[in-house]
Structures are given as C-alpha cells and as structure tokens.
C-alpha cells in the first residue's frame, strides 16, 4: 500500500504540442491535474520532466501553475533515469514508491518505469494519467509496464489509498477534487 510519507509523484513530459496530440488529451490532463492537487494536499513531493523542451515545448500551463517554483528536469534520454539531474533529485527525496503519470506511455513512461523497477523502486502506473498518440500504443505501454512488474492504479484508487480514512480536512479537500 502506498503512503504519503513514502511516495513521490512523477509527471513525465506533459508538454506543449505533444500533450495535445495524445489519445484523449483533455481526460489525461484533467486526471493529472486532480492527482497533482491531491498529492500537494498530502504534502508529497512531485518531480516533473520535460523531453527536449526546445522542440516539444514546456510543461502545460495548467500543471505548471499548480507548482510554482518546481522546475521541470530537462532531459534528452527517453527514460527519465538517463538524466543525472533527475536521478539526483529522485534520490534526494528518499522515496521508494513512485506514482507515474505522463506521456508517451509506450516510450518515455515505459522506459522510465522499467528502469525504476530495475533500481528497486515500487512503480505504480496511474493508468488514467498516461497516454500516447494512439490508443493502441497507450494500451501496449500499460501492458508492458505491468508485465515488467509495476502495479496499476487510477487517480481515484491512488488518492483514496493514500488517504486511508474518510475523515478530516484533507479528505474533504480531496473529495471535492475527485468529484470535479
């Protein structure tokens, strides 16, 4: 089971033109937005990456606005783990459970998930927070990530697992977000 004290949210490459070109872009962005807001209420660290931002653009504004001061880690390797800056930040948080969201499922998300698993992390793929340009590639990526050893979850499933109880201010705030 994931807990706020041991879990980190990783948002991979939700950038400019690419974010608009994936399968069901509005749904994916809305779900990542909900997950990000819930994780912030739970005081969980968030890592954001950008694949070659000069060519693909910056992280979409709706997500950046929620994280003032949280600068995305730029990378050129498909796997986030190929970036020394990313690995340094990841290690600094000392979290072993990684909630993974982002694009594209069959490329950067897949390669990152597999390498995180190889490093001994517990990867929890948030399936309604990932996508690819085609539905087929999204589904293939999810299957391959699960086969590699990751757990599958959804925005609501992860958030309520992190909460554990239906009481208090955090529950009220997160319930409001989930209902949006």
Q: What is the pLDDT of residues 44-79, one digit of tens each?
A: 999 999 999 998 999 999 999 998 788 899 999 999
Note whether 63 and 9 are within 8 A (CB): no
Q: Does 93 have pLDDT greater than 90?
A: yes
pLDDT of residue 136: 98
pLDDT of residue 70: 82
- Does the pTM exceed 0.75? yes
**Sign, CA torsion 91/58/29/113:** negative
pLDDT of residue 101: 98
Alpha helices for 51-154 (secondary structure H): 53-56, 61-64, 84-93, 110-118, 135-148
Report residue 80's pLDDT band, with 50, 70 and 90 as the boundaries: very high
- Identify how many contiguous H helices and E strands the chain contains and give both numbers: 9, 6
User: Which residue numbers are catalytic?
Assistant: 13, 75, 108
pLDDT of residue 17: 85
Supply the mean pLDDT for the chain: 96
Domain 7-179 has CATH 3.40.50.850: yes
């Amino acid at each position: 089971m994931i807990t706020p004290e041991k879990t980190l949210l990783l948002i991979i490459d939700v950038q400019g033109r690419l974010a608009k070109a994936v399968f069901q872009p509005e749904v994916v962005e809305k779900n990542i937005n909900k997950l990000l807001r819930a994780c912030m209420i739970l005081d969980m660290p968030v890592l954001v990456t950008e694949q070659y931002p000069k060519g693909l653009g910056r992280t979409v504004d709706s997500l950046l606005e929620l994280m003032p001061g949280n600068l995305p880690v730029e990378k050129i390797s498909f796997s986030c783990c190929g970036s020394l800056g990313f690995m340094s930040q990841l290690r600094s948080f000392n979290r072993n459970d990684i909630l993974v969201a982002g694009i594209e499922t069959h490329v950067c998300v897949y390669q990152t998930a597999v390498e995180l698993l190889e490093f001994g992390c517990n990867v929890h793929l948030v399936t309604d927070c990932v996508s690819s340009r085609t539905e087929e590639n999204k589904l293939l990526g999810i299957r391959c990530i699960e086969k590699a050893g990751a757990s599958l979850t959804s925005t609501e499933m992860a958030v309520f697992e992190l909460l554990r109880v239906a009481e208090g201010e955090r529950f009220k705030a997160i319930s409001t977000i989930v209902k949006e």
